[in-house]
Chains A and B, each alone.
Chain A
Amino acid sequence: MRRKNTKTTLLGVLALAFVGQFAVSQGYLLGFWRKNYSPGGIVANNLDPSQLALSLFGFREFLAGMLWVRADSFFDQGNYDAVLPIIRLCTILDPKQIDVYATGMWHIGYNFTDEEQRSDRRYIPSALALGKEGARQNPNTYEMFFETGWMWYHKVDDDYGQAVKWFEEAAKREDILPARRNLLWSAYQKAGRPDESLNYLYDLYDRAKGRLKDDQQFGNRQQYDTIENNLDTMLVRMVQRGWVAQHSEEGKKNNWYANGAYDTKPPFDVGFSAKVTVLSDRVLRVEGTWNVLPVGTRIRIVLRDADYPQAKMAELDWDSSDSVNLDPPRNLTFMQDQLFVRNRHFNRKIDMSKDPTMYPFIAKNYLVEFYYNPRSAPPHIQDKFGFNGEGFTDKNFLRTDVRETIQFKPAKFDDHKFPIEFEQIPLKDIPQRVMYTTLSLTQEQIRRKGEWSDKTPVVKTVNYVESTDSKDKDDVIYIPNLRVSGTGDAKAPAEAPKK
């Protein structure tokens, strides 16, 4: 009888314990573990069965770490193609390894180049998609927000509103380093929004002052001095470039800009012209004029399929992808380079013949695009051209419809405070004045086939005038006399080559 009672009691305890473990596990532990300890991501769809089995046994981080060690050795050997799948695998196995995301993004965006060190920009949407994924997986730290912003700011070097968007998100995170927080002011400025840049600089100034007050260490002193200097420069620029005159209430009311002498007045005509000669199969010479003597002008040239699917004017839709595709479209051609202006003209040989996989030239028709945006200009040139090209013009090729100034505002967040939707606000009162024009070439012309096998294809803008200058003068850069004016409309010294 007693034995039977004991057995019943044990069965009762067993049943209670079972219900208890069920309640604890399902009611609390599972949810907490998923939120805080799960590496996250969807491994089921992205790994083959053997990888999946190993990874699910709780060794995802270890596997990712070992693979990353292997990736390091491939980096050292320069075997960049082999690194790509490892990066992807590591990010799937352990999406919390920010180092893999950051390095992978940089690798995809920067390291795939042709023989002349031109980036394969077909990879950039994937690099940005990896950055976005990294930020989404690690929303509590600033790092991937900053890295993605940096890719827009430095590599894309255009559409600065996107850089602002990501830097703003990075700056909201508590762990951002002071020096990295600073970059947003420059992004605001490049995005054509100097008012916000100035306000942000004041905010940075207050922070730096506070830090210096708390701790007089050298780093804090240096930060404070740098920000103070930037603030001074920004104020001077906003006045001298006529921004305050044009955009302040008082300036508008009293017509300051029309009546005042500002560096951006009158707009300076850069006189762009260009000629493209196909020297041999996939080898071009691009030459032309740009009537700005100070050194520092780089004109963007793009050669692409005329019907490239994600093409926009002089760029791709870099933000077109949310999924990481490590295999860029092999049948499409997109070449982007810079034309460096010296002594008011440029002359550049672009050799794509050594990289047929990067430049397949399969399509029939191609566009050569020339683009210059004063927002990307160095400060000494921007002093004349203004923040948004107010002091810039081109008699033939000035456009205001190529780029819109867009402000992004987070409109929707997920559970982890990651912004999943942004409202796009076009800032109509801040137009971008850019130079943009195109020339057309056919596949036969670029490949020197058919009727072009023994004829040299030449295409040029209508205003192009052949120069009689000798090319050997290209090696000497003429520096304008700053006493004349110090801006792009400086009179060239007598010995400078004239077009």
Chain B
Amino acid sequence: MGAILSISTTTVGEAIRRRVLLVILMIGVLLISIVPALSVLSARSDLTTTISSMLFVLRIVSVLIAIVLTVYMIPNEIERRTIYTILSKPVQRWQFLVGKYLGAVLALGLMIGLMAGVMLILFYFFKHPPMERMLDLLRQAILYFIEVSLLAAVAIFFSTFVTPLVNFFLSAGVWGVGSLLNPLYDSFANNQGSAPIIRGMAKFVTSILPNFSNYDVKNPIINPGVTIQNETTYYLGTAGYGLLYITILIIAGILIFDRREV
């Protein structure tokens, strides 16, 4: 456990020092900061515009940071040969992988926390919303954090056997398709005219790939007024789902990494 902890804390330190991540983070914070000014363009629905734009920036920037942060983690260690120093100590490969992953998740937590904090402060300062809406935004930010933690697991899994460039596109692709799953399934389910084979395929893909759209609960936040029953159970369900999928990806990653020659 000590080995995992020290690897993860080192990883957080490395992540914070990486300029490319800091630049992306700064751009994210900057974009979130200008959103309140943008909303005045839509006099009739400025709250809607503000919330949807802020959440859009938060999600996109978080996803970008998660992919850029994780795709280089394992390959960089191998390329710089620092992995030999680590593995020559009493550290198992699985501990190295888990430590790296947890470090990435912690770094992501810090970065998303910063962006979410700026978002909430600006939202409160400019729009003076009721506390429930602030909490709604916070809940969505937490779900985005779980979403990118899952994405980081996807990227870590791929990084055990593909190059960073390929991993970048693979992870982005998996996130893209995973974000499509619920809306696509929903759209086909609503459209009785769609072919049964396409609907069947949509269901099959939904069962196989990690479903990132489960974490996208912003619609009732943007358009309030709908009472949702048992929302906490849903949040726990999505967290559990994320944990299960992360377990799958990390175990698969361990199994592959264990056989890999470094």
**Partner-B contacts on A (CB < 8 A):** 7, 10-11, 13-14, 17-18, 20-22, 24-26, 28-30, 32-34, 36-45, 55-62, 64-66, 68-69, 72-73, 94, 96-100, 103, 138, 140-141, 175
Contacts and interface: CB of A to CB of B under 8 A. Distances in A.
Contact of B187 (A25, A33, A43): A43
A14 B251 contact: yes
A437 B251 CA distance: 83
Nearest to A32: B234
B238 to A, nearest CB: 6
Nearest to B50: A65
Given A44-B191, A64-B52, A97 B237 contact: no
Contacts of B220: 36-37, 96
Contact of A61 (B44, B193, B211, B219): B219
A14 B240 CA distance: 15
B48 interface: yes
A175 B43 CA distance: 23
Contacts of B13: none
Given A37-B219, A140-B225, A97 B45 contact: yes
B200 interface: no
Contact of A62 (B43, B56, B185, B207): B56
Contacts of A58: 59, 179, 183, 212-213, 216
Given A61-B52, A69-B38, 7 more contacts: A21-B248, A30-B182, A42-B187, A45-B191, A65-B53, A68-B49, A141-B226
B252 interface: yes
Interface string B231-250: 10010011011001101100
A175 B226 CA distance: 10
Interface size bracket, B side: 35 or more
B223 A94 contact: yes
Given A42-B191, A58-B213, A36 B228 contact: yes
Contact of B211 (A25, A59, A72): A25
Contact of B219 (A96, A100, A140): A96
23 contacts: A14-B248, A14-B252, A17-B245, A22-B207, A24-B240, A24-B244, A28-B234, A33-B213, A33-B217, A34-B186, A36-B217, A36-B226, A39-B219, A40-B190, A43-B187, A56-B180, A62-B56, A68-B45, A72-B41, A72-B44, A96-B222, A97-B48, A97-B222
Nearest to B238: A29
Contacts of B42: 65, 68-69, 72
Contact of A65 (B52, B211, B231): B52
Given A26-B207, A42-B190, A72-B44, A57 B49 contact: no
Contacts of A44: 187-188, 191, 194
B146 interface: no
Given A42-B191, A44-B194, A94-B219, A34 B182 contact: yes
B227 to A, nearest CB: 7
Nearest to A71: B42
Given A18-B248, A37-B220, A56 B214 contact: no
Contacts of A24: 237, 240-241, 244
Contact of B49 (A14, A36, A59, A69): A69
A10 B182 contact: no
Contacts of A45: 191, 193
A37 B216 contact: yes
Interface in B184-203: 184-191, 193-194
Nearest to B45: A99
Contacts of B26: none
Given A32-B237, A36-B220, A17 B251 contact: yes
Contact of B182 (A13, A28, A33): A33
A25 B245 CA distance: 11
B206 interface: yes
Interface in B150-209: 176, 179-180, 182-191, 193-194, 206-207
Contacts of B133: none
A59 B183 CA distance: 11
Contacts of A64: 52
A87 to B, nearest CB: 12
B183 A62 contact: no
A65 B45 contact: yes
Given A25-B207, A57-B176, A69-B41, A13 B219 contact: no
B186 to A, nearest CB: 5
B188 to A, nearest CB: 7
B181 to A, nearest CB: 9
Contacts of B223: 61, 94, 96-98
